[in-house]
A and B are shown apart, each in its own frame.
Chain A
Amino acid sequence: MIAFDSREKKWIPYLLFLPPLIYLIGFVGYPLIKVLQITFTSVEGKFSLENFIILTRDSTFWKAFKNTLYFLIAIVPLQVILAFLLALFINSRFKGYMTVLYVISIPLALSDVSAALMSYNIFTSHGFLNKFLMKMGFIEYPIYFFGLGLSSRAFWVIVLTELWRATPLVFIILLASLQVISKDYFEAAEVFGFNGWQKFFHITLPLTMPSLQSALLIRTLFAFQIFGVVWLLSGRDIPILAGEVYYQQAELSNFRMAATYGFIIALISIIISWFYIILLRSKHLEV
C-alpha cells in the first residue's frame, strides 16, 4: 500500500483528472475554438459576419434548415410516443416479455449506415417490398420510393428508417425509468380509487418526466445531426444541415462554410437543450 502525505493527497484528484482534461482540451476544446475562429473570419482573415451573410443568402441553406426541422417534427414526437407505448407494454411484464424486449432492442446494435442499407434493400424498386407486392399480385410494376423527383416519398422512407433504428434508445431510457417507480404509489392510488388514466397522468408521467426529458433531449439533438440515413437514401436530393457540413468540407473543401454550418447546428442544439431543461423540469425536483 502506498502512503501519501497530506500535501500529495491534495494533488491526487487533480492528477487523476488530468488525462481526460488533456484529451478534452486537445480533441474537443481546440477544434471547437478553431471552428469558432473560422466561422467569424472573412476571406481576408479579419473578424467578420461575412460567412453568415453568404450562408443565409444561399437557398440551399434554407432548404437544409427546413428539411432538418421537418425531420425533427416528423421523427421525434412519433418516436417518443411509440417508445412510451412499447415501454408501458413491456413493463406490464407479460409472459415472454424478455424475448420481445430483445427483439425491440436489436436496432440498437445497428449503425445508421447499416440501417439505411437495409432500408434501401426493402424499398428499392427491386427490393423486398416491391418483390413481395408483385408476387402477391397487388402491383404489376414496382413502386419507386426514392429517386429523381421523388423526394417527398424518400422523406417518409427516411422517417420510417429512423423510427425503426432509433426508437429503441428512447424505449430503453423510458423502460428503465418505469421499472424504478415504486409499486407503493400504484397501491395507494388503488386505495383512492384512481382509474388507469389517472394513474398514468398523476403517477407514471410525472415520475418518468426526468427520463423523458433526457430522451427528448438526446433524440432532438440526434435529429439535428441526422446524416447517414438521409445521405444514403436520398443523397443531396433532400439537403439537411449536417449533410451540408459534410458536403462543404469533403466535396467542396470550403472550410469556412462547413464551420459556419457546424456552428449553426451547435447553436440550435444549445437553444433546444435549454428549452427542454426549462420546460420539462419536474416540479417536485425543484427546491
Chain B
Amino acid sequence: MLKRLAAILIISLLLTSTALAQETLNFASTQMVPAAEQLFAKSVLLKGFTDEYGINVEFIPMEYPDLFTRLSAEVAAKKVTISVVGELHGGLDLMNAQSLMDDLSDVEFTDRTFIKALEDYSIIADRKVYLPWMQATFVMAVNKKALAYLPDGLTIGDVTGASEKWTYDALLNWAKKLNEGLKVPKLGFPMGPKGLWHRFLHGSIYPSFTGYQAAAFDSVRAVEMWEYLGKLKSYIHPSSTVWESMDEPLLKEEVFIAWDHTARVKNAVIEKPDDFLIVPSPRGPQGRGYITVAVGLAIPAGAPQRDKAIKLIDYLTSPAVQVKILENVGFFPTIKEAEGVIPEGALRILTNGVLAQSGAPDSVIAMIPSLGAKAGEFTAAYRDAFTKIVIEGADLKTTITSIADKLRAIFAEVGIPLL
C-alpha cells in the first residue's frame, strides 16, 4: 500500500514539474484585438506554434496605453513578464525611445527577405527595434455596379491603375453621378466612434492636398481641401457616422464606393469576390496620399525566455503563417516569399489593390505619427475640425488656425518633428 502511494506521489511530482518546465510565453499584442481576430490568434495562429514547437503561448490582447503602462512598470521593476510584443511602428518607436525595447540586431532569418521599406523603418537610431510582422494600408473598395456611373473621361483602368486621372475631383464627380442616378448617396466612410475616419483626414486627403499630415494644416491648400470636403459631404451616405467598418455597408449595398482599412473591407471581398474591386486612393494636387501601417514584433528589454521569443517571431514571419494572417485578418505579408503563396480569388483582389497603390509613382506615404498618449488628441483634432467646419459650418480659417496651433503644441510636447 505504502509503495503504491509513493509511486503515485512520484508520478504526480514528475507531471507537475514537466508542466512547470513548459513555461508559458506571454505575447502582448495591440493587434488582433477584436473577438473574431482573437479567436484566430489563439486557436489557429498560436496553436500552430504550440503544436510545432511544444511551447505554450498566452495571447494578451491590449490597447496601446495599457501595454505602455504595463511594460514601463515591468521594466522599471525589472520583473518583465511579456516576452513578445506585437505593436504598430509608432508605438514601438515610442517604447524604444523610453528604453523599453531590446535591440534585435542579432536576430536574422536567412530563409526570407523582408520588404526593404519596412525593414528600413524597423531600424531606429541604429537599433533593430522590431521584425516587420504585418502591414496594411487604406484603400477604396468599389462595387462593380458603380462602374456604370463612372464620370466622363475616367475609365476603370484609370482607377485600378492609379492613373493621373484618378483624382479627388474625379471621385466627387463619380459620387455625384451615382447620387443623381440612384437618388441616394453611395459613397461611404467609417465615421463611427471606432471608425478610422481620422486616418482618411490626416493620412490620405491632407497629404494629397498639402503634401503633409499636419505641417500645412492651416495652409491655402488646406483651405481648398476643406472646401472640397464641403462639396463631397452631399454625396456621403448619412449613416457613415455610425459605421465603424465598411465591409457591412458594402455587402448590404448601402454604399457602392467606400474608403477604409484593408482589414475592414476584406470581408466584403471574401464574401462576394465577383462584386468588388479594391482600388488605390485618389490623388490630390500634391500626390496620392495614403497611410502605410507597419506592425512589428519586438522583445521587451529584460524579457524572459528570449530564445523562445525569437522562435515565435521566426514562426510568425514565415511565408505560410503570413498568408494565413492575410486570409484571416487581412494584414498583408512583410516578406517577399509570401507573395508567391497567395491564392487566386478574394485575397488576390485585395493584394492587387494594395500593390497598385504602393506602386503608384505619385505616392505620398504617411506613417501614423508616434504620439503615444497624445495620439487620441491628435486624431480628435481632425475629427473635430471636420465636425466644426463641414457639419456645423464654423468659420473655416479661424477653425483651422486654432486647431493647427493645437497640433503644433501636441508635436512640440511629444518632442517629434511636425509631419
Contacts and interface: CB of A to CB of B under 8 A. Distances in A.
Interface of A: 120, 124-126, 140-142, 144, 146-150, 231-237, 247, 250-254
A141 B252 CA distance: 16
B252 A148 contact: no
B205 interface: no
Nearest to B68: A253
Nearest to B249: A126
B242 A146 contact: yes
Contacts of A146: 238-239, 241-242
A144 B239 contact: yes
Contact of B241 (A125, A142, A148, A254): A148
Nearest to B239: A147
Q: How large is the interface on B (under 10, 10 to 19, 20 to 34, 35 or more residues)?
A: 20 to 34
A60 to B, nearest CB: 8
Interface stretch (B70-78, B209-217, B372-380): B372-380
Nearest to B384: A60
Contacts of B240: 147-148
Given A126-B254, A253-B376, A141 B241 contact: no
Contacts of A150: 238
Contacts of B387: 236-237
A148 B387 CA distance: 9
B241 A234 contact: yes
23 contacts: A124-B239, A125-B184, A125-B239, A126-B253, A126-B254, A140-B183, A141-B183, A141-B184, A142-B184, A147-B239, A147-B240, A148-B236, A148-B238, A148-B241, A148-B391, A150-B238, A231-B193, A235-B241, A250-B63, A252-B380, A253-B65, A254-B376, A254-B377
A235 B242 CA distance: 6
A125 B373 contact: no
B192 interface: yes
B377 A147 contact: no
Contacts of A253: 65, 373, 376
A44 B81 CA distance: 32
A150 B240 CA distance: 11
Contacts, number: 68
Given A125-B254, A142-B184, A235-B191, A147 B242 contact: yes
A271 to B, nearest CB: 29
A140 B191 CA distance: 27
Interface in B232-264: 233, 236-242, 252-254
Contacts of B236: 148
A125 B238 CA distance: 9
A233 B373 CA distance: 27
A237 B387 CA distance: 8
A235 B386 CA distance: 14
Contacts of B253: 126
Contacts of A147: 237-242
A148 B419 CA distance: 29
Contact of A234 (B63, B242, B383): B242
Contacts of A148: 191, 233, 236-238, 240-241, 391
A232 B239 contact: no
5 nearest CB pairs, A to B: A147-B238, A252-B376, A235-B193, A144-B238, A147-B239
Contacts of B383: 236
B167 to A, nearest CB: 23
A254 B375 CA distance: 11
B376 A251 contact: yes
Contacts of A233: 242
Contacts of B238: 125, 144, 146-150
B153 to A, nearest CB: 29
Contact of A252 (B191, B233, B242, B377): B377
Interface in B299-333: none
